[in-house]
Amino acid sequence: MPYTITRLCIDCVDTGCVRICPVDCIYQPTQPGCEGFPNQLYVDPVECIDCGACEPECPWGAIFPEQAVPPALCEDIALNHALREDKARFRIASYQSRALPAPEAVAANRAKWGLDSRQSSAPMAEQFRHAASKRDGFEG
Ligand code: SF4
Ligand code: SF4
């Protein structure tokens, strides 16, 4: 079962997920505002090997296994699948280093898309910071 990038990624696209994906199966539209595809990244569900490495790398908590996508975001599963029918309009996303979002920004983004802003946002940010510090230490 592949992973899905949801609308929590829209306009956040800091690409921590891209850096970690071992099979380069995370794509971005070739032009911002690509018709029908919001400005976010997408997983090719066939190329995805279901390793789960991207999920804790996302500081916005935007990535879920398909079977665990919250109901409020479930339409995004089909959007990730739709990229396969329109692949010419996508390219493999490239990594760009960005500042980590504040926990308040993560909570506000969750609330904006109909998720409980209190649920898991702070622990998620903490979890990400822990993973990022370990990773940066490793890359040293
Ligand atoms: S790390 Fe999260 S917010 Fe950043 S591009 Fe990947 S899915 Fe989007
Ligand atoms: S689950 Fe693994 S293979 Fe699939 S998109 Fe995430 S990092 Fe890439």
The number of domains in the chain is 1
Ligand 2 neighbour 90 (Cβ under 6 A)? no
* Interval 59-92: pLDDT, tens: 999 999 999 999 999 999 999 999 999 899 999 9
Nearest to 110 by CA among 66, 43, 58: 58
Give the domain extent around 52.
3-139
Determine whether the shortest distance from the Cβ of 124 to ligand 1 is under 6 A.
Answer: no
Q: What would the pLDDT profile of 122-132 be if each residue is shown by its tens digit?
A: 445 445 544 55
Burial of 94 per CB tally in 10 Å (0-12, 13-18, 19+): exposed
The domain that contains 50 carries what CATH number? 3.30.70.20
Q: pLDDT tens, 14-24?
A: 789 999 999 99
pLDDT at 42 over 50: yes
